[in-house]
Each structure stands twice: as structure tokens, then as C-alpha cells.
Amino acid sequence: MMKNYRMVLEYDGSRYDGWQKQGNSSQTIQGKIESVLERMAGVPVEVHGSGRTDAGVHALAQTANFHADVNMSEAEIKEYLNKYLPEDIGVKSVEQASDRFHSRLNGTEKTYLYRIETGERKQVFERKYIYGLSQPLNVKEMERAASFLTGEKDFKSFCSNKKMKKSSVRILKSIEFEQEGSRLFIRYTGNGFLYNMVRILTGTLIEVGLGQRRAEEMKEILEAKERSAAGFTAPPEGLFLEKVFY
């Protein structure tokens, strides 16, 4: 009997071309999981993720679901996946879900975490998991800039996809800053994110923190609805999908 399974994954996105399976690449998270599930089920299995993380972006808790007809318990499925998946993709949990559950369509909010090293020390062992900016930031001004960005807004200026036909209005519930020594962690929680949105928001806030932009400019950037109005796209290695809410 076909059952719907919900799983929570963590992965190091460093060597992958993102979550989404692509015809021109065998190095995708979705592709790796589907190939192991096909071996397990004996037929092709489609995996739906809560969202598509970009190339080089990591996940601490990505939710996904798939339908399969296998005579295995949830614990056995989890064990099988972890045995055959590459070392940089891990399954944290597997549980049977209702037939109607869909990891992307049923999600209500997501939290993304961006990690920045502001200290002078070059990051050798953590270079794949933190943005080595190596410059001090004025976090107070960044927080002030962030206050203009939360709420229901049109984030078209913070999207890399110029051909997007759908609405670019999203609700950014909160932007939280946490300092740990020379490290700055920024958490974004919202009901949905556009292509590269978190990385462009981060790049723009960094420019404020470096004194290259004023916090008040955020209003003008939003009104412009033009990608060129916003700041640079922060690199992927600092970004983690931290949590998906249902």
C-alpha cells in the first residue's frame, strides 16, 4: 500500500548544485535522495522539498515528503537512507504523514540563518559554513535598517529572478541579530522567500553595517522594485535553512 512519508534532513550543500534535480547535473540533493529511494522501493520515487536551496547553501532541518510502497518501518527507512546517502546528507527523522501532506504546499513559515565572521582571522576549517567578511559591522545600524524590511512588502528588489511572473509580495515576520564574539548570526523568518532573497537582504544589510548605505535607504530600495537598487548577493556558504513551520 502506498504511504506518504515526511522526513527531516540536514545537509552540507558545499559540493551540490542546490536542492532541485536538474537535467544537466547529477550533483543535487533531491537527485541523491531519489536515487537511494528508487533502490529501496524498486521503482522511481519523487521527493518534494519544502523549498529549493541554492548551490552551496546548507540545511539544518529541510522537510521533504515522498510516497512509497515498502514493507519497512519508519526506523528502517531512516536507517536505509542514512546507510546509502553520501556522508554530507543526513536523515534526522522519518514518519508516516497523512496522504494530503505536502512539504512545500503545507509549510506556513521558514527560518533561514546567515553566519558572518567579522574578525580578522581567516576561516580555514569553517570556510564552507560561514562568510569570512573579516570587517567590523555596525550592528545597531543594521538592526535599524532591518526594521524597514519586516512586515508585508514587495521584495522584488531583493530577487535575482528578473523573469518572475508571480507576485513578489512576502511577509517577513522578523530579522533577528545575535552576536557571539566576532561572529554575527542573522535569522530571517517569513512566509516565503524569493530567489536569492535572503542572500541579497544580507548583502544589503552588510553594506549598511559597513557604512556604505544608510538604514533609511531600505524604503527606497523596496519602492524601486529593481534588483540593481539593492546590495550585493552575500555568498552561499553562510546560509542555512534552519527550520520549516507547519
**What dihedral angle (degrees, nearest 10) is formed by the CA atoms of 95, 19, 201, 151?**
-40
Q: CB-based contacts of 64: which residues, under 8 Å, 6+ apart?
A: 6, 7, 8, 9, 33, 47, 48, 49, 50, 103
How many Cα neighbours within 13 Å face the side chain of 237?
14
Catalytic residues: 54
Q: Which of 94, 91, 51, 88 is nearest to 72 (CA)?
A: 94
